[in-house]
């Protein structure tokens, strides 16, 4: 066996042991109030529970004061696109949803119920989620295949008055944009002028194009590519989501698109970009090869072809990991803290800029120690914060919350434990 096969076998063995013991799974429910006396139990349940019920009948908003709703997120899947494994079914997606719960709790102190839904149609899924939504302060949709993920998210946003966020779309797009802004800055280029190639037209690819355009990228400078090649306005049979990223161009192949491009963003599959394609890009290119575990082009290959590029991957063993954990826990933290009714585009852009700016600040010693580094500063190998940086919780949630207040979607005041709001205006 090769070293990589030995490593994979070891990881698989250890992962099964990790998930199975000392108790099955990765999450549990913890009681937050005393239950030591008869009176404690009388307050926790009958007769004491009746009074909070009456208060919530009078004012549904009181549920945020008397129940866990305000700090509880549902992580929900239908099992149609589970973590690179495809359509595994809802039940097989449960370990991933529990893993997401771990990240919410560890990084942002947010409680999670993971929910796996057997649904034959998007409409069935939407109806199920809408009916259980009163339980939660927010909904994180996860591992739902395109194009149904777009339809599902939009339907739920329209029906519910709590944040609904498909992390595979927006979470990925936010981290891509934050890293890309820094990379372009280091390369002496501007987003408004950059020619961008996006390989992969699923949830992440289409969301990335939309957010890039919202932040100033020119629509005519972006070429999106799926299995059939460049998505162009002359192609027949495009669904509405692919049509929204179609370009008026005579380029038809990935190789055509890559010629002269400033930026490559891959959210597709392994080894799809050849050295020749990389060589044809513009001077000082930015390459985000995010297919996991094998990138569209491997860094060791790319660096043999170009010594003027900045590169990011989805892997933790290379510099510049594009990792959604930099975003979703802290975005939801900010949204929940001001009881936002949604996570709108302005809140997403606020998260982008908070992440971008954090990399320009001096890195604390504890972060360097966590990663075994002597030094780390903004540059080609540091365009995104490290996931274990404690400052993420200090800067991203307030930025998101401030955007929610500024755009009128917040339903509570600026939290007392936040820094002064003026810092985020």
Catalytic choice (18, 45, 87, 190)? 45
Q: 166 has which bridge partners? A: 141
Tell me how far apart the alpha carbons of residues 396 and 332 are, in angstroms, rounded to a whole number: 10
158, with CB counted inside 10 A (0-12, 13-18, 19+), is: exposed
Q: CB atoms < 10 A from the CB of 127, how many?
A: 14
Cis ω for the linkage preceding 47 (within 30 of 0): yes
Taking a C-beta distance cutoff of 8 angstroms, is the pair 176, 329 a contact? no
Tell me how far apart the alpha carbons of residues 82 and 77 are, in angstroms, rounded to a whole number: 8
Q: Determine which helix (DSSP H) or strand (DSSP E) holds 53, and give its type and residue range.
A: helix 50-58
105 is catalytic: no
Q: Where are the beta strands (DSSP E) in 269-329?
A: 286-289, 310-313
Catalytic choice (69, 94, 100, 386)? 100
Q: Name every residue whose Cβ is closer than 8 Å to that of residue 347 and which is 6 or more positions away in sequence.
A: 331, 334, 335, 340, 400, 403, 404, 407, 409
- The C-alpha torsion from 271 through 276 and 277 to 280, rounded to 10°, is 160
386 is catalytic: no
Tell me how far apart the alpha carbons of residues 311 and 303 are, in angstroms, rounded to a whole number: 9
Tell me how far apart the alpha carbons of residues 59 and 39 are, in angstroms, rounded to a whole number: 27
Tell me how far apart the alpha carbons of residues 143 and 149 are, in angstroms, rounded to a whole number: 9
Tell me how far apart the alpha carbons of residues 391 and 276 are, in angstroms, rounded to a whole number: 40
Cα-based angle 272, 276, 277 (whole degrees, multiple of 5): 55
How would DSSP label each residue in 165-212? Answer: EEIIIIIHHHHHHHHHHHHHHHTT--TTT--EEEE--SHHHHHHHHHH
Phi, psi of 311 (to 5 degrees): -130, 145
Helices 203-214 & 148-159 angle (0-180, nearest 10):
60
Which residues are catalytic, by number? 45, 100
């Amino acid at each position: 066996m090769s070293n990589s096969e030995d490593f994979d076998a070891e990881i698989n063995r250890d992962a099964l042991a990790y998930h199975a013991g000392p108790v099955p799974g990765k999450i549990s429910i913890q009681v937050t109030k005393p239950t030591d006396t008869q009176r404690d139990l009388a307050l926790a349940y009958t007769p004491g529970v009746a009074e909070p019920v009456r208060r919530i009948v009078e004012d549904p908003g009181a549920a945020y004061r008397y129940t866990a709703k305000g700090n509880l997120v549902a992580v929900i899947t239908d099992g149609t696109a589970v973590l690179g494994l495809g359509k595994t079914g809802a039940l097989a997606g449960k370990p991933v949803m529990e893993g997401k719960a771990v990240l919410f709790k560890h990084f942002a102190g947010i409680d999670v119920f993971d929910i796996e839904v057997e649904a034959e149609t998007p409409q069935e899924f939407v109806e199920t989620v809408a009916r259980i939504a009163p339980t939660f302060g927010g909904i994180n949709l996860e591992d739902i295949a395109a194009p149904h993920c777009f339809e599902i998210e939009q339907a739920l946003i329209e029906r519910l008055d709590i944040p609904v966020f498909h992390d595979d779309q927006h979470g990925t797009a936010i981290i891509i944009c934050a890293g890309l802004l820094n990379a372009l800055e280091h390369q002496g280029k501007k987003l408004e002028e950059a020619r961008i190639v996006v390989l992969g037209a699923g949830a992440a690819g289409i969301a990335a194009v939309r957010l890039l355009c919202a932040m100033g990228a020119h629509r005519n400078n972006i070429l999106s590519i799926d299995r059939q090649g460049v998505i162009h306005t002359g192609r027949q049979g495009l669904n509405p989501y692919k049509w929204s990223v179609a370009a008026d161009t005579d380029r038809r192949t990935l190789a055509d698109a890559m010629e002269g491009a400033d930026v490559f963003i891959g959210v597709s599959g392994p080894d799809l970009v050849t050295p020749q394609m990389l060589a044809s890009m513009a001077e000082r290119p930015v390459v985000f090869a995010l297919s996991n575990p094998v990138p569209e082009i491997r860094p060791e290959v790319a660096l043999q072809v170009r010594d003027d590029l900045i590169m990011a991957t989805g892997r933790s063993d290379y510099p510049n990991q594009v990792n959604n954990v930099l975003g979703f826990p802290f975005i939801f933290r900010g949204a929940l803290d001001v009881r936002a009714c949604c996570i709108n585009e302005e809140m997403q852009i606020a998260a982008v800029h908070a992440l971008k700016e954090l990399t320009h600040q001096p890195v604390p010693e504890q972060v360097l120690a966590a990663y075994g580094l002597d030094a780390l500063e903004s540059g080609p190998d540091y365009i995104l914060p490290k996931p274990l940086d404690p400052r993420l919780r200090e800067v991203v949630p307030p930025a998101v919350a401030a955007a929610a207040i500024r755009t009128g979607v917040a339903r509570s005041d600026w939290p007392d434990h936040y820094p002064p709001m003026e810092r985020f205006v």
